[in-house]
Amino acid sequence: MELNEGYKQTEVGLLPKDWDVVAIKDIASRNKKWSFTGGPFGSNLKSTDYTNSGIRIIQLQNIGDGKFLDDYAIYTSIEKANELLSCNIYPGDLILSKMGDPVARACLVPNIHSRYLMCSDGIRLAIDGTEASFFYYNFINSPSFRKQAEEVSTGSTRKRIGLTQLKKLLLPKPSLAEQTAIAKALSDADAWIQSLTQLIAKKRQIKQGALHNLLSPKDNWFEIKLKDVAILKARIGWQGLTTSEYLSNGNYYLVTGTEFKDGYIDWANCYYVDEERYKQDKSIQLQQEDVLVTKDGTIGKVAYINALDKPATLNSGVFVIRPKKEAFEPLFFYYILCSKYFSTFLNQLTAGSTINHLYQKDFVDFSFKSPPSLEEQKSIAFVLSDMDNEISGLERKLKKAKQIKQGMMQNLLTGRIRLI
């Protein structure tokens, strides 16, 4: 292969000629003790050492793929953490996971506490300089480094890498000035992603508040029982549709419930069926404004059909609900099913049992309060729908921002694009 001028072929791929290649052990700080070390042996940190306060333990569950996951917290005593001082880790350090999935994933230790204790499957990597730490944090989470880690990992079902193998893995080393420039660019991309993530979370909270307020019954609202106003249909058992008939492509979508995403159908992940299966039952041939509810597995998941680009039908695990003679606005009913009123109904239905099926005889007894006019139902539904559309737009922006960040990583971390 002909090399581009100014580049060289290395163990980690094509790099600029003025970049070096180093082992990961060589970027560890020489000024900090235990700058590249693993967590304690399992026998040295047991569940009996866990406490409700003290020094937080970073568990595998906290090590996300490029981010710290803060939704799981356990602690140990200060005395135990001091006893295992070589396994302590600090804000700004990198922590890598010995275990998949994926193996050797890394995150930056956050500034929530002044110090932490690693779990046995964590590896501390302390690097001098914030910019250098951020540069290598990004490279360690790149496909190039991940490929190296997987090649030296052991285990068939779940990959595992030891400290000895990890120390030998290779990384590019640009000048500190270029590391700083790359880190700044990627940090700006992360800040944009974080701001969008926070905005989406805020919009979701506002939407939940609006859902509660708009669906709270007013004095003139009346109670509706589902059996009186709706038609419920599902694929019946004697039709005998089996998973062996699910197709990976075709002209007729099959909705199974697994492709419900944020209240709508993710058509890109749908299976298909042949024409005969689609035409077998007209009552479950989907239409716009249909409301769907799962009745098997995870019961009570809800979706609304706002668009159909191909004909679609159901498997046996999903109900389709339609109003009798405009008895209610379907989109309003969809939001009722997204509210506490339906979740409370399901909780009461399944209380004290291991039920994993929503029977039609039970579902038809669901009742809810409704405004007297379709126009008022539509007005409420449209307000909530506008909020959903705004959130969907922000989620598309977030997806695009993440794609841009991935492209930046591929180009900046390999020197294909130079910033200085």
Q: Which helix (H) or strand (E) holds 274?
A: none
* Cβ atoms < 10 Å from Cβ of 163: 15
Alpha-carbon gap, residue 86 to 40, rounded angstroms: 8
Residue 238, pLDDT score: 58
pLDDT tens-digit map of 53-77: 999 999 999 999 999 999 889 999 9
Residue 1, pLDDT score: 43
Mean of pLDDT values over 23-30: 96
Alpha-carbon gap, residue 375 to 213, rounded angstroms: 18
| DSSP 8-state code for residue 380 | H
Alpha-carbon gap, residue 160 to 103, rounded angstroms: 6
Residue 351, pLDDT score: 80
Average pLDDT, the chain: 94
pLDDT tens-digit map of 271-327: 999 999 999 999 999 999 999 999 988 899 999 999 999 999 999 899 999 999 999
Q: What are phi and psi of 338, to 5 degrees?
A: -85, -5
Q: Determine the straight-line distance between the first and last CA of the chain, rounded to whole angstroms.
A: 27
In terms of Cα–Cα distance, which of 138, 241, 150 is closest to 188?
Answer: 138
* Cβ atoms < 10 Å from Cβ of 133: 22
Mean of pLDDT values over 131-147: 94
Q: Which domains does the chain have, with CATH numbers?
A: 7-173 (3.90.220.20), 174-217+372-420 (1.10.287.1120), 222-370 (3.90.220.20)
Alpha-carbon gap, residue 171 to 26, rounded angstroms: 10
* Cβ atoms < 10 Å from Cβ of 412: 23
* Structure tokens belonging to residue 191: 């800040």
* Cβ atoms < 10 Å from Cβ of 273: 23
411, amino acid identity? N
Mean of pLDDT values over 196-218: 97
In the sheet with 94-97, reading across from the earlier edge strand, the strands are 36-38, 122-125, 94-97, 106-108
Alpha-carbon gap, residue 170 to 150, rounded angstroms: 13
Largest CA distance in the chain: 78
Q: How confident is the model at residue 241 (pLDDT cuts 50, 70, 90)?
A: confident
* Structure tokens belonging to residue 371: 């405004």
pLDDT tens-digit map of 370-387: 999 999 999 999 999 999
Name the pTM for this structure: 0.85
Q: How confident is the model at residue 330 (pLDDT cuts 50, 70, 90)?
A: very high
In terms of Cα–Cα distance, which of 216, 396, 419, 236 is closest to 319?
Answer: 236
Alpha-carbon gap, residue 16 to 9, rounded angstroms: 9
Evaluate whether 94 touches 140 at the Cβ level (below 8 Å): yes
Q: How confident is the model at residue 3 (pLDDT cuts 50, 70, 90)?
A: low
pLDDT tens-digit map of 150-198: 999 998 888 899 999 999 999 999 999 999 999 999 999 999 999 999 9
In terms of Cα–Cα distance, which of 91, 118, 89, 124 is closest to 106?
Answer: 124
* Cβ atoms < 10 Å from Cβ of 43: 7
Three-class SS of residue 30?
A: coil
* Structure tokens belonging to residue 342: 């339906």
Say what the alpha-carbon torsion angle 406, 411, 412, 414 is, to the nearest 10 degrees: 120
Residue 356, pLDDT score: 81
Mean of pLDDT values over 27-40: 95
